[in-house]
A and B are shown apart, each in its own frame.
Chain A
Amino acid sequence: MKLDELAGKCGEWLLGTGPESDIVISSRVRLARNLAEFPFIRKANDSERTQISQLVHAKMDSIKSWPDLLYVDIQSLDEVDRQFLVERQLMSREMAEAKGDRAVAIDPNERFSIMVNEEDHLRLQVMCSGLDLQTAWERIDKLDDELGEKLTYAFHDTLGFLTACPTNVGTGMRVSVMMHLPALVITREIEKVFRSLQKINVAVRGLYGEGSQFMGDFYQISNQITLGRTEAELVTTVNEVVPRIIEYERRAREFLVNESEQDLHDDVSRAYGILCTAKKISSEETLHYLSKVRMGVNLGLIRSIEIETINKLFVQTQPAHLQKLRGQHLSVADRNIERASYLQSHLGPNSKSDADN
């Protein structure tokens, strides 16, 4: 499989299936690992970075249950391809912007990816659609075991897995859930909800779109602590808090429907209308209106679109995806025109939303 083939497809994590998928987009578990025989990345020289990449690649190739893994050398990619992998959540923005030998290994179905030479030698991540942290944890545990049989991880009997940043030491595990919370944003309840989460060691971050643009209605909930608890306990920590936030969002949506259904319907319909008819549209505007439409679809205010289509449009209307799908470099102005055309073809009356995905 080649990188270009990924652009037209969509990973399993975006299918809009799985428990609570009206509010939870995806569940992700990440493990940070370092190889015992090399310094951490900050102190590894060029030769050592190359040795790490080659060693890891060779060991991955020898794992029989990972037959079609795509191993991508990030140094050899152009800027659009790097940005594409970031938009696809297959690697971090920091990794795209870093220098030196580094790579990302990608499962063809995008169920998992492994960053090599990011902040740590290895960052394994597994993604699932909807709220399904248990599956994500079981999958990454297996991947970690398979890789751990081939590689010698830096490990301390008392401190656990050793990582470049002390915030990750121990399990090296970050459990996170990406949530779509538009009603809590509209009702301005979001800050209050998140303030209450600080007390139980759960971190909340907004998600960023193009550059530093803020994707207003998406939030990532994750564990803060990585040491002193088992992996299962960390999964439980996040698993216990997410249903509470879902409940708050559902109540906020119910409130909006009961108190101002006409306004809400109007807002959603206008957003849909703009997405269907605009001749040029920015990435930021698109995310803003898609968020409203997504809520409208979930509330039954718009019935002609599948949630999977909206999920895919969030990703495929981003700058690098548009350029990959079009097969050429586009200026910002040309992207805005291309984006409007792409949205129309998937949301408009003659849309091909379910035909080509």
Chain B
Amino acid sequence: MKCQQCEKPATFHITELTEPTGPVMVHLCEEHARTYLSQENSDSPTNALAGMLAKQLKLEQTADQLAKLDKKTCPVCGITFAEFRQAGRLGCAYDYVCFEDDLGALLLSIHGSKTHKGKRPARGTGSPDRQHKLIQLRREMHEAVTAEQYERAGELRDTIQDIENGGDLPGAPPSPDAAPDSDSDPNSGST
């Protein structure tokens, strides 16, 4: 894809989440991205998000590095980093682990902090790994009910309750670079 301002390849894909018309994509080369971001209007928090997201991708990154990052895929929900950059919305709680490095810089830009100081929920889930496992088990349970495998569904329900009550995880967390699970089709019912 070419830069919207010149003939060079567009290596920055900035999503302006302008209200109320919805997201608008801007595709720019590094040079024009610098100019664009320096003129960024920070009046709106959503505009600021898009600008910060692009900034934290480090202007010195090569097109190859950016392309690799864009292809990074969450093994739980199937969202790619490019998809997140376009929509400005994440696909599941595990994305915060999967895209940890890139999101960490973004969160720091937006909030000036990466550490929660507020209230905590009554029912603890422990970590995003546990939340990832809960998503998988919930999907498996639903499939078991649909297939009328009620005994299996009951076992899965008990496992979910056990995890929610602080029990050990039945398996290790997946690698962030692993292929998506078959039951987490990235195209399934996305809105």
Contact = CB atoms under 8 A, between A and B. Distances in A.
- Which of B48, B93, B123 is most buried by chain A, counting CB atoms within 10 A of its CB? B93
B131 A37 contact: yes
A165 B126 CA distance: 21
B96 A45 contact: no
Given A167-B110, A171-B119, A43 B134 contact: no
Contacts of B42: 198
Given A37-B160, A40-B91, A166-B49, 13 more contacts: A36-B135, A37-B134, A43-B188, A48-B139, A153-B123, A154-B93, A160-B116, A161-B121, A165-B90, A166-B90, A173-B118, A198-B43, A230-B119
Contacts of B46: 167
A49 B142 CA distance: 12
B110 A225 contact: yes
A164 B62 CA distance: 28
Interface stretch (B6-14, B63-71, B73-81, B171-179): B73-81
User: How big is the B interface, by class?
Assistant: 35 or more
Interface stretch (A11-19, A143-151, A175-183, A285-293): A143-151
A156 B128 contact: yes
Contacts, number: 183
Contacts of A148: 121-123
22 contacts: A39-B77, A39-B92, A40-B89, A93-B20, A119-B89, A144-B119, A148-B123, A149-B122, A153-B123, A154-B131, A159-B96, A159-B107, A164-B90, A165-B49, A165-B88, A167-B46, A212-B20, A225-B110, A227-B114, A228-B117, A230-B117, A230-B119
Q: Which of B89, B112, B188 has the most CB of A within 10 A?
A: B89
Contact of A203 (B20, B45, B106, B189): B45
A227 B77 contact: no
Given A42-B87, A162-B128, A152 B123 contact: yes
Contacts of B45: 167, 203, 224
A225 B115 CA distance: 12
B190 interface: yes
Nearest to B119: A231
A166 B53 CA distance: 10
A41 B77 CA distance: 11
A93 B20 CA distance: 9
A158 interface: yes
B45 to A, nearest CB: 5
Given A45-B189, A161-B121, A230-B117, A40 B107 contact: no
